[in-house]
Amino acid sequence: MGLLDGKVAIVTGAGHGIGRGHALELAREGARVVVNDLGGSVTGEGKGRDADVVVGVIAGRGGQAVANYADVADFSQAEEMVQQAIDTYGQLDILVNNAGIVRDGMLWKITEDDWDAVIRVHLKGTFAPLHHAAKHWSARFKETGRKVGARVINTTSGAGLEGNIGQINYTTAKGGIASLTITASLELFRMGVTVNCLAPAGATRISATIPGAGIEAKEPDEFGEFSPMDPSLGSPVVAWLASEEAAHVTGQVIRVVGEDINLLTPWDYGPGISKPGERWDPAELTAKMNAHVFGTRHPGLRSMNKS
């Protein structure tokens, strides 16, 4: 018996790395999986049939899976992907939005095309499948009057939550996905759909592009013994979030690095000052802000050395 017996899942960007790990984990727990991957390069060019390999691995282990080659940021193709899950397996219970690309560059060097491509794949590529899945779940909820019990797990990153030099497009998209998760969790709560977000890490095709990092991309099933760089280490959390055991968890961002799992705290009120009933004068803010809020340090530099 697995945690996800009888469930149907879509995992986007599941041909390699983190998404591949998720697809294999969900299948191991009994889910039938639609393995989506456009089959392109890490920068988003080209197409292929990478999803077929993962389907073959799942089938070889006795699981059920079908391949899907949709561009998840194409609204019509995302709709067809959701419909494929329903037509093939009769339902859709789990959506894991993981697809992504990178086109790194400093703010003053990055091109408009590089900005648009990365925002499109990550942010619209999360919104489009979720829109069509939510539309399906809403119809089910209205028809039956019962909560549908579906699960959504989106994908952000440490860079998206703390910033990273040379990745203005990627970090913007990933930060947007965390915000999308919170709002979607509020909107879908009444129909019994949870929406959470994973911030994983590992040796993937994307992390291998970081200059000087010395990372070699590997697939999850190539590591063997435990390695903190295994990109599938977040996959057990995805499987748990997708299960009935996590029905009480929604609107959360969870960071998984190596063997560590941490709940991340969203934007919250930090130190502050108040002047009841009066408008602040800019001239008085230096002394007040330095004494009670910032001091003399640059607050943004806290994340300069974060990975």
Instruction: Give the count of alpha carbons within 13 A of 221, CB side only.
Output: 15
Q: Which CATH class is domain 8-264?
A: alpha beta
pLDDT at 301: 52
Read off the tokens for 119.
């925002």
| Range with lowest mean pLDDT among 39-43, 114-118, 207-211, 231-235 | 207-211
pLDDT at 306: 39
**Model confidence pLDDT, tens digit, residues 239-264:** 999 999 999 999 999 999 999 999 99
**Model confidence pLDDT, tens digit, residues 117-167:** 999 999 999 999 999 999 999 999 999 999 999 999 999 999 899 989 999
Domain residue ranges of the chain, discontinuous segments joined by +? 8-264
| Whether the predicted pLDDT of 195 surpasses 80 | yes
pLDDT at 187: 98
**Model confidence pLDDT, tens digit, residues 69-106:** 999 999 999 999 999 999 999 999 999 999 999 999 99
pLDDT at 212: 64
Query: How many CB atoms are located within 10 Å of the residue 291 CB?
Result: 10
User: What is the spatial order of strands in the sheet that 8-11 belongs to?
Assistant: 65-68, 32-36, 8-11, 94-96, 151-155, 194-199, 253-257, 260-264
Catalytic positions: 157, 170, 174
Mean pLDDT, rounded, of the chain? 92
Query: How many CB atoms are located within 10 Å of the residue 45 CB?
Result: 9
This prediction has a pTM of 0.92
pLDDT at 305: 37
Angstrom distance (rounded) from CA 273 to CA 288: 7
**Model confidence pLDDT, tens digit, residues 29-48:** 999 999 999 998 888 899 99
